[in-house]
Amino acid sequence: MHFETRIRRSLANRVASKGTSDRINRAIVDRAASHHNCQVVYGAEVIDIQRGSNVIRITSAEMVHVPHIARDFDVFFSAVAPERDAEREIVDYSTPRVHRYQQLDLDLLVPSMQESIDVKAVYCPYTEPRAGELVFDLGANIGVVSIWLSRLVGSAGSVVSFEPDPRNFECLEHNIAASQATNIKPIAAALSATSGTASFFSEGSIGSGFRDLRAESMLPTTAGQQIEVPTLSVSDAFAKHGVPAWIKIDIEGAELEVLESGLEVLKETMPSLAIETDHLRGSETTARRVELLLESVGYSVKSDRVGGTQMTWTLPR
DSSP string, the chain: --HHHHHHHHHHHHHHHH-TT-HHHHHHHHHHHHTTT-EEEE-SSEEEEEETTEEEEEEGGGGGGHHHHHHTHHHHHTSB--EEETTEEEEE-SS-EEEEETTTTEEEEE-S------HHHHH-SS----TT-EEEEES-TTSHHHHHHHHHHTTTSEEEEE---HHHHHHHHHHHHHHT-TTEEEE--EE-SSSEEEEEEE-SSTT-EEHHHHTTSS--S-SSEEEEEEEE-HHHHHHHH---SEEEE--TTTHHHHHHHTHHHHHHH--EEEEE---EETTEESHHHHHHHHHTTT--EEEEEETTEEEEEEPP-
Question: What pLDDT was estimated at residue 34?
Answer: 95
φ/ψ of residue 289, rounded to 5? -70, -35
Residue 167 lies in a domain: yes
Q: How confident is the model at residue 113 (pLDDT cuts 50, 70, 90)?
A: confident
Residue 107 lies in a domain: no
Higher pLDDT among residues 306 and 162, named by residue: 162
Per cent of the chain over pLDDT 70 is 88
- CA distances (Å), 301 to each of 178, 257, 263, 277, 289, in order? 36, 18, 15, 12, 12
Average pLDDT, the chain: 89
Give yes or no: residues 75 and 182 share one domain. Answer: no
Per residue in 19-45, pLDDT tens? 778 888 899 899 999 999 999 999 999
Mean pLDDT of 139-158: 96
Task: Say how many domains are in the chain.
Answer: 2
pLDDT for residue 161 is more than 80: yes
Give yes or no: residues 123 and 237 share one domain. Answer: yes
Mean pLDDT of 279-300: 91
Q: Provide the domain limits for residue 70.
A: 3-95
Task: Pick the last residue of a domain from 63, 95, 127.
Answer: 95
Residues with Cβ within 8 Å of residue 15, at least 6 apart in sequence: 22, 25, 63, 64, 221
Q: Which of 156-160, 222-226, 254-258, 282-286 has the lowest mean pLDDT?
A: 222-226
Per residue in 81-108, pLDDT tens? 999 988 899 999 999 999 999 989 999 9
Mean pLDDT of 157-181: 96
Per residue in 10-24, pLDDT tens? 676 667 666 778 888
Residue 288 lies in a domain: yes
Give yes or no: residues 199 and 251 share one domain. Answer: yes
Residue 270 lies in a domain: yes
Give yes or no: residues 148 and 237 share one domain. Answer: yes
The rounded distance, in Å, linking the Cα atoms of 108 and 88 is 23
Question: Going by DSSP bridges, is the β-strand pair 134-138/246-249 parallel, antiparallel, or unpaired?
Answer: parallel
The rounded distance, in Å, linking the Cα atoms of 135 and 7 is 38
Mean pLDDT of 202-219: 56
Residue 90 lies in a domain: yes
Question: What pLDDT was estimated at residue 220?
Answer: 47
Q: How confident is the model at residue 64 (pLDDT cuts 50, 70, 90)?
A: confident
Q: Which of 79-93, 137-151, 213-227, 277-291 has the lowest mean pLDDT?
A: 213-227
CATH number, residue 155: 3.40.50.150
Question: What pLDDT was estimated at residue 201?
Answer: 77
Task: Pick the last residue of a domain from 61, 95, 129.
Answer: 95
How many beta carbons lie within 10 A of that of residue 59, not counting itself? Answer: 18
Give yes or no: residues 88 and 199 share one domain. Answer: no
Mean pLDDT of 292-301: 98
- CA distances (Å), 8 to each of 28, 66, 175, 202, 221, in order? 9, 9, 31, 19, 11
Residue 180 lies in a domain: yes
Question: What pLDDT was estimated at residue 218?
Answer: 46
Closest to 237 (Cα-Cα) out of 143, 119, 137, 129: 137
The rounded distance, in Å, linking the Cα atoms of 207 and 218 is 11
Question: What pLDDT was estimated at residue 153?
Answer: 98
Question: What pLDDT was estimated at residue 8?
Answer: 62
Residues with Cβ within 8 Å of residue 117, at least 6 apart in sequence: 75, 103, 307, 309
Higher pLDDT among residues 5 and 69, named by residue: 69
Mean pLDDT of 212-240: 75
Closest to 183 (Cα-Cα) out of 155, 163, 161, 162: 155
Residue 100 lies in a domain: no
Give yes or no: residues 58 and 135 share one domain. Answer: no
Give yes or no: residues 257 and 211 share one domain. Answer: yes
Give yes or no: residues 20 and 149 share one domain. Answer: no
Give yes or no: residues 301 and 172 share one domain. Answer: yes
CA atoms within 13 A on the CB side of 189: 20
Give yes or no: residues 136 and 87 share one domain. Answer: no
Per cent of the chain over pLDDT 90 is 69
Residues 195 and 233: beta-carbon distance below 8 Å: yes
Task: Pick the last residue of a domain from 60, 95, 130.
Answer: 95
Give yes or no: residues 132 and 254 share one domain. Answer: yes
Give yes or no: residues 54 and 124 share one domain. Answer: no
pLDDT for residue 1 is more than 60: no
CA angle, corner 50, sides to 49 and 53, nearest 5?
A: 155
Residue 102 lies in a domain: no
Residues 200 and 227: beta-carbon distance below 8 Å: yes
